[in-house]
Structures are given as structure tokens and as C-alpha cells.
Amino acid sequence: ESEDVRRKEFTKYTKNLEIVKAYKHSIVFKVETVGDIRKKMETQVRAICDDKVRYCRLHVEARRSPFGEESREWELKALIQTLYPEMPKTFEQMYEQVHREFNGLVEIQWGSEEKNTMNIKLQGQQSRDQKVWMKKIEREQNDLSETEKLIEAAKLNQYQIVADYKLTPTTKYYLRDLLTLLKSYNYMNTEVNVSEKTREGRMQAKLTIEPISRRFCTILLETPESRVLFNNIVVPFQFPTMNIRRNFGSIHSVRHVVERIEKENRAECIVKSTKVQTFDNLFYRAPITPCFHVLAKDCSSETPRFNVLLRKINKNSEEKELKVINEENTIVLRLNKNQMTVYVNDEIVKSVEKMEQYGIYQITEELYKIDIEDVLVHFDGYEAK
């Protein structure tokens, strides 16, 4: 019954998904060799996404000159579609949200004389351990703000893949060799059994990432020949996970995409009422007072291009005021009696369109983002990041 409800909610969500704005991006790059034997490769990527990047459709086309024993150009064509669920604003909304999975669909064809085809369905969801961890975060992580708790709890750590394929004998040979290599790499924690239910031309896989450290994973792989379980694979890095709580904001161009990625990967400084996490990940106690404290500033010249300041509204309250000053504007976000007020150059700004002109974005009812050329600040009235 719960699965039927989930499917109905998903169908309803896709039907009601209203794309008001969409943006198209394209990238083309070519590589050519010089000399007596000229070879070339060309790739084109075209992407269409709604302005919040909930739904995206990518077309990829690539071709290169024949190589080795090939007599014709090698070609690749792919269609990739991704869909994020509705973004929850509170824990209550997340618990009540029946459909909170990420869905992806890939259709791909590649080859030279003979073509390989593969259709892949991907679903990102939360494992049982992640759901337990989510409830624990809500109860115990008191040093995190509500927004941080929600972001941690909204991570998707389990990915199910179903691939229907039609492959050439050469490609099948290489894939068997790759599977054999994976078995030998982790042979102490690998279980291999005869497959009983996977039909010819289909592969199923499930990747589960340990939710706390995200440095361990388990992979279940089912092919027509075998069922292979890789237990507790250790990786030297933290697995990136999709997050249904993440907000991309409006994206208008490829330049905007590159800038957003660069800013998201900068070092962070997080300031709370009594504690500061510095850009180099150190913690120290520094109570915020009703006087303005400088959180960040441009030190590259005698005339700073920006300053970020924070203060308490009054000494008996946790509500705060954020001020961001750059060469063009002075932006102030002030929380008073649970109501956020936005000022630009001492004037109150209420309309969403005008706020976005100044680089101010309301992500949720509580969380705002200031995204100007030199600095990116998240502020919920209590904490600046």
C-alpha cells in the first residue's frame, strides 16, 4: 500500500511540476592532431534545466576518427534526464513527504561498426540506517542550526540502478574483465552466488553509503551470470551524496554555473552566538555582542572590495543582524521578532525580483543567501555561514 501511495505522489508531482523559467546551455569542444595522420574528436553537450535545477535534460553527442581496427567513425549519443523531488522546508514536511527520491534516466548508444545500447534507470533514496541517523540528528545535534540539521538529514545515501543493455562481444569481454578485477580487489569481503532472477540483457545494482563518515560503502551487483556482494568497501575520501534539501538558486548561464561551483567549494567560516568555525576548520569561543563583528573582509588592497559584519540585535536575544558592504551597495538582513527584513542602501526591499537584482535570494522562509561577486553568505537570522 505504501509503495502505491508513493507512486501516486510521484505521478502527481511530475504532472504538477510547473517550469516557469528554463535555461539552455551548450558546450562544444574539438581536438585535432597534426602531422601526416590526422585524427580528430568532437563533443557537444546541450543542457536544458529549469531555473531551480529540479529537472534537467542533457543531450551528449561525440565522435572521433577510426582507431585501431575500426573502419568507421566511433560515435556516442546519450540522453540524460534528472528529477529532484520537492524541497522540504522543515522536518515535519520531510517526514510527511511520501516521495523524496531522486530519479534519473540515461539512454545511450555508442560504437563504430557495431553499436552498443544501454538504458539506465537510477533512483537515489535513503537507506534504513540513514533514516535512523536522520532522527538522531533531529534529537541530539544541538550545536547545529535547524537549517544545518535539515541539510544533514536530507542526504540520499542509497542508489538503485537497473540497466537494460545490448552489447557487442568485445564490450562484454571488457566488462567481465572489469568485474573480475573488482572481485579480486576486495576478495576478503566479497560474496559471489549464482544469479537466479536477473534476465539476459539486464543488470541491477545497489550502492549503499554508510551515512555518518561516508567512507564505507556496500555494492550489490546482479548480472545474468552472478550475484556479487561487495561488503564494507573503504575509500580514501568522503562519498558525495545527493541532497533533496540543497537549493541551487537561479542559474542563467554557463559562467554562472562555473562561478556557483567555485563558490560552493571555497573554504567556509561559520559564526554562531558563542562559537566560530574558521576558514581553516578551527573552532574557538567568541561570543557575539550588540556591536558589529567583522566576519570577513577583502585584504588585497587598502580599499576593501567587501566587508561582512554581524551583531546581535540586543544582548538578551539570539536574533542577529548581518551587514554586507561592497563597492556598489550596503545590504542588511535583520531578524526581529522572527521576522526578517531586508535593506539595501537603507531602503526596505520586499519584492523577490528586486532582491535578486542585488544578489539576495530567499531560499526558505528562514534562510537567505547573499551571492555577490566576491563573497557568498547564508544567513537565517541566528547564524551566518
Global pTM reads 0.66
Look at residue 322 and tell me if it is in a domain.
yes
The pLDDT, as a whole number, for residue 253 is 53
Cα distance between residue 297 and residue 319, in whole Å: 23
Kindly report the average pLDDT of the chain as a whole number.
80
Rounded mean pLDDT, 120-140: 79
Look at residue 232 and tell me if it is in a domain.
no
Look at residue 224 and tell me if it is in a domain.
no
Look at residue 274 and tell me if it is in a domain.
yes
Rounded mean pLDDT, 140-150: 63
pLDDT at 280 over 50: no
Helix (H), strand (E) at residue 379: strand 376-379
Look at residue 139 and tell me if it is in a domain.
no
The number of folded domains in the chain is 1
Cα distance between residue 211 and residue 287, in whole Å: 32
pLDDT at 76 over 80: yes
Look at residue 81 and tell me if it is in a domain.
no
pLDDT tier at 1, thresholds 50, 70, 90: very low
Question: Does residue 132 sit in helix, strand or coil?
Answer: helix
- Structural domain range at position 374: 267-379
User: 46 with 24: CB under 8 angstroms?
Assistant: yes
Burial per residue of 159-177, b for 16 or more beta-carbon CB atoms within 10 angstroms, e otherwise: bbbbbebebeeebeeeeee
The pLDDT, as a whole number, for residue 281 is 47
Q: What distance lies between CA 111 and its chain's CA centroid?
A: 31
User: 208 with 218: CB under 8 angstroms?
Assistant: yes
Look at residue 165 and tell me if it is in a domain.
no
DSSP state of 384: B
pLDDT tier at 379, thresholds 50, 70, 90: confident
Look at residue 61 and tell me if it is in a domain.
no
DSSP H stretches of helix in 28-187: 91-96, 128-140, 146-153, 169-185
Question: Does residue 148 sit in helix, strand or coil?
Answer: helix
